[in-house]
Amino acid sequence: MSTVSSRAPAALDAGTQPLTTLKGVGPALAVSLGKLGLERVQDLWFHLPLRYEDRTRLVPLAELKVGDRVQVEGVIEAIDRGFRYRPQLKVALGDDSHVTLLLRFFHFRRAQVEQMAVGSRLRCYGEVRQGPTGLEMVHPQYERISGPGTPLDGTLTPIYPTTDGLGQKRLGSVIDKALAQLPGDDVLELLPPALRAPLGLGSLREALLTVHRPPAGADLQRLARNQHPAQQRLAFEELLTQHLTLRRLRERVRRYRAPPLVGDGRLRQRFLADLPFTPTGAQSRVAEEVAADLHHDHPMLRLVQGDVGSGKTVVAALAALNAVESGFQIALMAPTELLAEQHLRNFRDWFEPLGLEVVWLAGKVQGRARKAALEAVAGGAPVVVGTHALMQEGVMFARLGLVIVDEQHRFGVHQRLALRDKGRQAGEVPHQLVLTATPIPRTLAMSAYADLDVSSIDELPPGRTPVQTVVVSNARRGEVVERIRAACLEGRQAYWVCTLIEESEQLEAQAAEVAHAELQAALPELAVALVHGRMKAAEKQAAMDAFKAGEIAVLVATTVIEVGVDVPNASLMIIENAERLGLSQLHQLRGRVGRGAVASSCVLLYRPPLSQMARERLQVMRDTGDGFRIAEKDLELRGPGEVLGTRQTGQMSFRVADLARDAHLMPAVQEVGEVLLAEHEALAERLVRRWVGGAARYADA
């Protein structure tokens, strides 16, 4: 962090002093604030409210509506302390409108009761509910006040994210002190007015003050939805910062040299000649885009997205052969052992006839086998396939030219970087190709993958049949089993997929064992096999091979089959607890059927009752097979964390911005980002430091 120029210390240092410089913040309070990630004064400026309470006005009792959270004031008309079922304090509050509001308390102290007296005046804040006899507030916040006309708050009351032992009042007052030190726009503002004006974005200072202390009368509805112009101003800057962070990461990587991989096409020609099919137009186009990148002497950073079954592996193989023809090694990394094994098999089938050694390196490869694998890698074996074990200490490549990551959303930026670092030698880094199965909505890709170029395989190989999808309650499980019987007796094959909400491989495996036993009992005339993540690799392989060979009619599996299984004759899939899975994952699973000539179907079994959201999601699966639409819907319904996977979200947590809600800002973010990087590099640096702060996450990239 030494790139900061010393010429404008006042501007750069605004707000970077520690919190203990604020009056009243001692070591103990600093520790509490530290738990919230708040260390510098400016961290408090950017610690934004979760929501607001409106105590700037009083709502007359006659105007109350069920569900409102409001402040009211009135005089106590009656008090009833009851014990019928459990202790209960009921207080009737009235105002000039002659409407009565009942305040109900279940937990209360004697002192509290003694404070309440008929005729005394209370000011309460709470949610209005419908009670048995009329409108009520349960456990409102309240204070006794001396008389009518007691002044009201001048601004909306912000409610901040906080931590145990740090109350809203205390936190609010520390934030007040920090805001008092908010400098003027000349120092604080980093976005040049010329860039802001066309977008209608106000100044940062104004936005921060509005968001922390919204004036009475501010649009509470819009604030609640994070759509107030002040919040959008902040969201814009935050998205911009995140975009700049990734762009800068990319620029930094681009400054490295990479070996130009031109190749003579010899291996690729033989590979294509042996392939039992012709690549689709989309596959050829994307392979060309990749090849063009590989010609450069700076590293490729390309994401290839393509729906499940679109044939990404062929594209990866062509890129690999390009590198090998050029005398370099390639490493292919997959997030699960099963997927990595599938790639291993494909690559061995394809490459060994070309005389290329394919080395396998996964966590389970131990002892002598591991030693041999490491020696082969260090000795320059052309193709290495594996899991994250490829990134571990002790793995040394001789001449790594290309890294291929089949990420299926399971790797984050950091892991991508780690593998790239493996190949860093004498100022050169390998090229990098990332494969991803879920089509990412454009706006999200702009943000999440701003460090990568994107190619899309937007065409499926010929001969795929659409999958008919039905949504069925678990109560009709028996009918579903009958359906399997009928289909399998006709020579078709079926998957039965067991899923669990917790990512516990063990529980999932148990559920699969139970389902396996149930189906074996119900379908004695059919061969039913089981495959789950806790089985030995050889057992898994045996079960899959038997299924592939048609010796098994029903394969009971956990979500391990999400990736990697390819059996065209399997035309029926049952997914248990479908309501618990993300749409993208359901789409991945369903992509395992519909690969042959027979009409395929997918049964989404759910356990009632279904929430409204779950109903909507399953409906999407029923209505469309288009991965793009499904991903967009997933983004809309569940947010970017679900679409990108949890690992991705670690680095994508925002304070104000929300990739789904604020997607419309992305095109402008991208434009402004380009201008900043090209013309105001120093501002870009400061923006990142402001928002990303001490945890400048990509600093070492």
d(CA 419, CA 333): 9
List 349, 566, 679, 681, residue binding ligand ADP (CB under 6 A): 566
**Shorter beta-carbon distance to ligand ADP: residue 48 or 291:** 291
Q: Which DSSP helix (H) or strand (E) runs through 584? A: helix 583-590
Three-class SS of residue 104?
Answer: strand
d(CA 403, CA 384): 10
Tell me: does residue 162 bind ligand ADP (CB under 6 A). Answer: no
Which span sits near ligand ADP by CB under 6 A: 130-138, 275-283, 407-415, 521-529?
Answer: 275-283
Tell me: does residue 439 bind ligand ADP (CB under 6 A). Answer: no
- Least Å from the CB of residue 669 to ligand ADP: 30
**Shorter beta-carbon distance to ligand ADP: residue 49 or 591:** 591
Which span sits near ligand ADP by CB under 6 A: 128-136, 302-310, 391-399, 545-553?
Answer: 302-310
Tell me: does residue 408 bind ligand ADP (CB under 6 A). Answer: no
- Least Å from the CB of residue 283 to ligand ADP: 6
Strands 383-386 and 329-333: parallel
Three-class SS of residue 255?
Answer: coil
**Shorter beta-carbon distance to ligand ADP: residue 126 or 582:** 582
Tell me: does residue 627 bind ligand ADP (CB under 6 A). Answer: no
Tell me: does residue 312 bind ligand ADP (CB under 6 A). Answer: yes
**Shorter beta-carbon distance to ligand ADP: residue 605 or 643:** 643
Report yes or no: 587 and 630 within 8 Å, Cβ to Cβ: yes
- Least Å from the CB of residue 308 to ligand ADP: 5
* Helix residue ranges, H only, 6-91: 9-13, 27-35, 41-45
Tell me: does residue 202 bind ligand ADP (CB under 6 A). Answer: no
Tell me: does residue 288 bind ligand ADP (CB under 6 A). Answer: no
**Shorter beta-carbon distance to ligand ADP: residue 106 or 277:** 277
**Shorter beta-carbon distance to ligand ADP: residue 171 or 314:** 314
**Shorter beta-carbon distance to ligand ADP: residue 382 or 439:** 439
Q: How many residues bind ligand ADP (CB under 6 A)?
A: 15
List 157, 241, 313, 651, residue binding ligand ADP (CB under 6 A): 313
**Shorter beta-carbon distance to ligand ADP: residue 126 or 591:** 591
Tell me: does residue 335 bind ligand ADP (CB under 6 A). Answer: no
Angle at 445 between CA 440 and CA 449, to 5 degrees: 125
Helices and strands in the chain, H and E counts:
27, 22
Q: Which DSSP helix (H) or strand (E) runs through 497? A: strand 493-497
Tell me: does residue 311 bind ligand ADP (CB under 6 A). Answer: yes
- Least Å from the CB of residue 343 to ligand ADP: 9
Tell me: does residue 106 bind ligand ADP (CB under 6 A). Answer: no
d(CA 355, CA 342): 20
Tell me: does residue 625 bind ligand ADP (CB under 6 A). Answer: no
Q: Which amino acid is at 548?
A: K
- Least Å from the CB of residue 602 to ligand ADP: 16
Tell me: does residue 281 bind ligand ADP (CB under 6 A). Answer: no
Strands 51-53 and 157-159: antiparallel
Tell me: does residue 461 bind ligand ADP (CB under 6 A). Answer: yes
Tell me: does residue 309 bind ligand ADP (CB under 6 A). Answer: yes
Query: What distances in angstroms separate CA 232 from CA 210, 218, 240, 638, one per listed residue?
Result: 12, 15, 12, 21
d(CA 176, CA 170): 10
List 74, 259, 306, 382, residue binding ligand ADP (CB under 6 A): 306
- Least Å from the CB of residue 278 to ligand ADP: 6
Report yes or no: 295 and 260 within 8 Å, Cβ to Cβ: yes
**Of 77, 80, 106, which is closest to residue 93 (Cα–Cα)?**
77
* Helix residue ranges, H only, 379-504: 413-422, 442-448, 477-489
Tell me: does residue 310 bind ligand ADP (CB under 6 A). Answer: yes
Q: Which residue is nearest to ligand ADP (CB)?
A: 311
Binding residues for ligand ADP restricted to 339-398, rule: CB under 6 A: none
- Least Å from the CB of residue 422 to ligand ADP: 24
**Shorter beta-carbon distance to ligand ADP: residue 308 or 572:** 308
d(CA 85, CA 100): 24
Inter-residue long-range contacts of 146-154, CB under 8 Å, 24+ positions, other chains counted:
146/121, 147/121, 148/73, 148/121, 150/123, 152/55, 152/56, 152/57, 152/58, 152/71, 152/216, 153/55, 153/56, 153/216, 154/56, 154/215, 154/216
**Shorter beta-carbon distance to ligand ADP: residue 435 or 572:** 435
**Shorter beta-carbon distance to ligand ADP: residue 127 or 458:** 458
Tell me: does residue 277 bind ligand ADP (CB under 6 A). Answer: yes
Residues linked to residue 402 through DSSP beta bridges, in sequence order: 330, 431
Angle at 412 between CA 409 and CA 416, to 5 degrees: 110
Report yes or no: 226 and 272 within 8 Å, Cβ to Cβ: no
Burial class of 643 by CB neighbour count within 10 A (0 to 12, 13 to 18, 19+): buried
List 42, 232, 280, 493, residue binding ligand ADP (CB under 6 A): 280
Tell me: does residue 71 bind ligand ADP (CB under 6 A). Answer: no
- Least Å from the CB of residue 417 to ligand ADP: 23
**Shorter beta-carbon distance to ligand ADP: residue 439 or 673:** 439
DSSP state of 488: H
Tell me: does residue 308 bind ligand ADP (CB under 6 A). Answer: yes
Strands 301-306 and 431-436: parallel
- DSSP states of 613-654: HHHHHHHHHHH---HHHHHHHHHHHH-HHHHH-HHHHHTT--
Residues 6+ positions from 222 with CB-CB distance below 8 Å: 228
- Least Å from the CB of residue 603 to ligand ADP: 22
**Of 435, 412, 411, 432, which is closest to residue 421 (Cα–Cα)?**
432
**Shorter beta-carbon distance to ligand ADP: residue 204 or 452:** 452
Tell me: does residue 314 bind ligand ADP (CB under 6 A). Answer: yes
**Shorter beta-carbon distance to ligand ADP: residue 121 or 345:** 345
Tell me: does residue 589 bind ligand ADP (CB under 6 A). Answer: no
Residues that bind ligand ADP (CB under 6 A): 277, 279-280, 283, 306, 308-314, 437, 461, 566
